[in-house]
Amino acid sequence: MSVPNGGIGEIGPLVLVACSGGGDSMALAEAVAHEQRHASWRAGAVVVDHALQPGSGEVADRVAGWLADLGLDPVEVVRVSVTPDGSGLEAAARDSRYAALADVAERLGAAAVLLGHTLDDQAEQVLLGLVRGSGARSLAGMPSARGLLRRPLLRLTRAECRQSCTAEGVPWWDDPMNEDTDVARVRARRAVADLEADLGPGVVAALGRTADQLREDADHLDALADEAVRSLGAGPWGVEDLAALPRAVRTRVWRRLLVIAGAPAGQVSTRHTEACDALLTRWHGQGPAHVPGGVRVLRRDGRIAVQAGPATEDRARW
């Protein structure tokens, strides 16, 4: 299997494969190891041990051995501590993993980190966004490139990756956590399989196309929101100025203003932006909208202010 377009390109002397040892990331590692033999760049790998199940350290070391056998160098095993917070265990593990990958990439001077997400993963991401009632950005799924991260397998299925491993004699292991139905993504995986069985082949591909189309829309709306924030300048802002923005842009503007004021981006939900928007569209003299991070959004005398920290009489006067 060769790495599809959008994966590596001319990006620098060292790329790293993030490898869990599963069929997807092992197929990616094999493809990258093959291509580096005829390229001007070299490839290494990072195995992140989340220490969430017994024997995880031994599995990580075994995977590192497989990667070294493929010819990847350097190969590093990084053990992280996962501390669940309000976002849950899965999100905490993801944050710890990405932080570890970024640290290794910086230390080794890597130009990119390649992730083994497939078309199936993309479909599951879109389905999760649908059932959670998320907006277009969440439904847009995972981008093929963002910063150091590259996802070159988003056009390939999970089955194709495993077929490649079998054809090339590449070992992999199946994480037992992929059968844990307490994990939302595992339930989504089963739901996608049921949809394929009930509605016929093509559901995974269709969800992937939906993500691509929505990503284009979301990128355009995000660009408009960025421009609107620049034009609005520092607050407070006139109610008319905010209300004049199209709603699809305005909801994004609210999110940006809240994050700028100190609200944690991962905790700002539609519920919070709706409460802010109600100060424009359903105004009846209500009190401030309260947002995570101690941020408050107030309306007074035809103006809107976003404030951080405890309320005081002086701050309330603007």
Domain containing 251 — which CATH number? 3.30.465.60
What pLDDT sits at residue 313?
46
Residue 272 lies in a domain: yes
162 and 128 housed in the same domain: yes
Question: Which of 145, 174, 208 is the last residue before a domain boundary?
Answer: 208
How long is the chain? Answer: 318
Annotated binding-site residue? 25 = yes
Annotated binding-site residue? 65 = no
CATH number, residue 108: 3.40.50.620
Evaluate if pTM is beyond 0.85.
Answer: no
Residue 35 lies in a domain: yes
The Cα 123–Cα 195 span in angstroms is 11
190 and 290 housed in the same domain: no
What pLDDT sits at residue 186?
84
Residue 2 lies in a domain: no
Task: Say yes or no to pLDDT of 143 above 80.
Answer: yes
Annotated binding-site residue? 22 = yes
Asked whether 16 and 45 are in contact (CB, 8 A), the reply is yes
Q: Which of 256, 233, 134 is nearest to 276 (CA)?
A: 256
What pLDDT sits at residue 2?
54
pLDDT confidence band for 12 (50 / 70 / 90): low
158 and 195 housed in the same domain: yes
116 and 197 housed in the same domain: yes
The Cα 149–Cα 67 span in angstroms is 19
What average pLDDT does range 1-10 have in this prediction? 50
144 and 193 housed in the same domain: yes
Return all residues near 308 (Cβ < 8 A) that are at least 6 apart: 261, 262, 293, 294, 295, 296
187 and 103 housed in the same domain: yes
Domain count, the chain: 2
Annotated binding-site residue? 7 = no
Annotated binding-site residue? 309 = no
Residue 57 lies in a domain: yes
43 and 173 housed in the same domain: yes
What pLDDT sits at residue 6?
44
Q: Which of 3, 165, 5 is nearest to 17 (CA)?
A: 3
Q: Which domain range does residue 290 map to?
A: 233-317
203 and 245 housed in the same domain: no
Asked whether 294 and 310 are in contact (CB, 8 A), the reply is yes
Annotated binding-site residue? 135 = no
Model confidence over 28-51: pLDDT tens digits? 999 999 999 888 899 999 999 987
Give whichever of 19-33, 168-182, 187-201, 204-218 has the largest mean pLDDT.
Answer: 19-33
